[in-house]
Amino acid sequence: MEVFDSEDDKEVLTKEIGQPSFDTTSQNVNFKIMHDIMKLGCCQKSLVVAAYRTFLDLCETRKFEEVTYHYISELDVIYLKVQKKKDETDFEVVVPVLSSKKVSFKQIEGLQEAFKCACITLAICDMNSLIMYYKITKH
């Protein structure tokens, strides 16, 4: 089953997570996750890659049990809803942002209004795979 819409999509995915040299379940899952994030509708491939890297970091390194990815086309923003434990009702909103992009206070306030929450976490993604998390609150 081919999960790519185009050779460009396949090239972006291969650059980010490597060309599988053999068929393993984990690599197929990684390709599927990246493809699913691309399918949300975001046209910025670098932002899709940042969201994918953030997703993996939250799941594998930070051990969040529930991480889902979403896209708001009006704001051109991919965000992740995360819960430490699956049965919790509270969730956090994590917004991947490229370190090369400027983020204004007005944009942050717009995100807080869009998510209807006083607190969001920015995941600042650097090109060398570093991710820094900043929790921002209204108060």
Taking only the tens place, the pLDDT of each residue in 2-55 is: 334 455 544 554 554 444 333 445 566 777 888 899 999 998 889 999 999 999
Residue 1 falls within a domain, yes or no?
no
Residue 46 falls within a domain, yes or no?
yes
Amino acid at 131: I
Tell me the whole-structure pTM to 2 decimals. 0.78
Pairwise CA distance, residues 118 & 120, whole Å: 7
The angle formed by the CA atoms of residues 45, 47 and 100, to the nearest 5 degrees, is 115
Residue 104 falls within a domain, yes or no?
yes
Query: b vs e for 10-26, b when ≥16 Cβ sit within 10 Å of the residue's Cβ?
Result: bebbeebbeeeeeeeee
Pairwise CA distance, residues 79 & 69, whole Å: 6
Residue 2 falls within a domain, yes or no?
no
Total number of domains constituting the chain: 1
17 lies in which domain range?
Answer: 7-137
Residue 40 falls within a domain, yes or no?
yes
Taking only the tens place, the pLDDT of each residue in 100-139 is 999 999 999 999 999 888 899 999 999 888 999 999 998 7
The CATH number given to whatever domain includes residue 132 is: 3.40.1350.10
